[in-house]
Amino acid sequence: MTEAHTKGATKQVYVTLAGLPLTIDLGWPVHRSQTGADFYILHGTVRLQDSGGLYALVALQLTVTVREVLPSLEPRDVESPAINTIRKAVDTREIEFLKSPKRVPLQFNSRTWDFKRNKWAFGQASDSQVAELLERKAYWQTKLEGAGARVWVADPTDAQYLDTPAGRIAEIAQSLAQRGLLRVEDDYALATDKLLAQSERIEAERKRAQEELEQKHAFEKG
């Protein structure tokens, strides 16, 4: 991961809009498909936190169209949209978490590129969704790393995923601080005791989101 993503955190937690806490390891470099297909491949491992070790192996398939809009195939240009493509796929229940070595192909194509605005577009979140994500992000980072874990409030990867300006995310973080749920220090936030006391609600939301994802895949398998 980039220095910006890891600053203040040993392992970055990425929370989906449904409330699932993920850690994502990407296997650099991006490389051309060896099957003769005209696309590039980036492997990744997605771990569902607090699930007893469930994970998914993915193979992001970067189409030629996406390659044309990317300045380069280096992590600085690919990492954020790759992470958000994975996060979006979890939101839409395309990824199933198991304990299996099978790698799942995942399309990294132009459906998430807004040609009119010349930017990535994973769907605009409401202020309430941004607030929920910030709460969950601070909670799960603390659970993963322990008391005092800090999260980057205006992480550009989150801003891209939420299609919300970093400044607006910072404003929402301040409103959560006023409610006693976060303690904001410069560009970072920490979960307060008041937020950690809501563990039953936050973990129930994670459990419900996981159950809905699993039910979807169970239905498809018949």
- Is there a contact between 190 and 150 (Cβ–Cβ < 8 Å)? yes
The single-letter DSSP state of residue 222 is: -
Query: Which structure tokens are listed for 142?
Result: 């603390």
pLDDT for residue 3: 37
CA distance 174 to 189: 9
Q: Residue 159 CA to chain centroid, in angstroms?
A: 11
CB 42 within 8 A of CB 30: yes
Cβ proximity of 65 and 71 under 8 Å? no
> 3-state DSSP call for residue 150?
strand
Segments making up each domain of the chain, as ranges: 3-120, 127-200
Handedness of CA 10, 14, 20, 25 (dihedral sign): negative
**CATH T-level fold of 127-200:** Arc Repressor Mutant, subunit A (1.10.10)
pLDDT at 36: 65
Report the distance separating Cα 155 and Cα 8, nearest Å: 12
- The residue among 5, 53, 9 whose CA lies nearest residue 141 is 9
pLDDT of residue 189: 97
Give the span between the Cα atoms of 127 and 120, in whole angstroms.
19
The angle subtended at Cα 111 by Cα 109 and Cα 116, nearest 5°, is: 115
**Res 101: pLDDT:** 80
Structure confidence at residue 1 (pLDDT): 39
* Helix orientation angle between 127-145 and 199-221, rounded to the nearest 10 degrees: 100
Q: What is the pLDDT of residue 73?
A: 96
Residue listed under structure tokens 């978490």: 97
Q: Which token pair is 89?
A: 């796929």
Exposure on the CB side of residue 113, measured as CA atoms within 13 A? 18
Q: How far apart are CA 82 and CA 88, in angstroms?
A: 10
* Low-confidence spans in the chain with pLDDT less than 70: 1-10, 36-37, 222
List the structure tokens of 34: 């060896």
